Amino acid sequence: QVQLVESGGGLVEAGGSLRVSCAASGRTLSDYAMGWFRQAPGKEREFVAVINKSGGTTLYAVSVKGRFTISRDNAKNTVYLQMNSLTPEDTAVYYCAAARYSLSSRVGSYDYWGQGTQVTVSS
């Protein structure tokens, strides 16, 4: 079992930056690829970014590429999502998730999920 807890969400103005974190407990984080997803009101949960177990490979959704950066510190059992140049369209609950066997953009590929942290971008 892996327990994931997101933090760092909040309210930011358009054009601003925010970093959200995901702390893991229960198992060694380096056993998992880690992803970030988001879900806006009335919309399906969508892929944002994923990083492989070692941190050497990352993938991003087209909508965030060049603005967001995913990283991980396995020694601290923590994954980060640095978000720059935020727009109101980035407003959502952001979730981190752990995948034991794949580097994937699919929700169904992930084994464990955090409870989410709200990010609100004002115009």
Q: Of 119, 5, 27, whose CA–CA distance to 67 is shortest?
A: 119
Q: How many residues in the chain?
A: 123
CA distance linking residue 57 with residue 49, whole number of Å: 11
Whether 75 has a pLDDT exceeding 90, the answer reads: yes
CA distance linking residue 60 with residue 67, whole number of Å: 10
Whether 99 has a pLDDT exceeding 90, the answer reads: yes
User: Where does the pLDDT of residue 112 fall: very low under 50, low under 70, confident under 90, or very high at 90 and above?
Assistant: very high
Q: Looking at per-residue confidence, does 26 or 113 come out higher? A: 113
Neighbours of 18 (CB within 10 A): 20
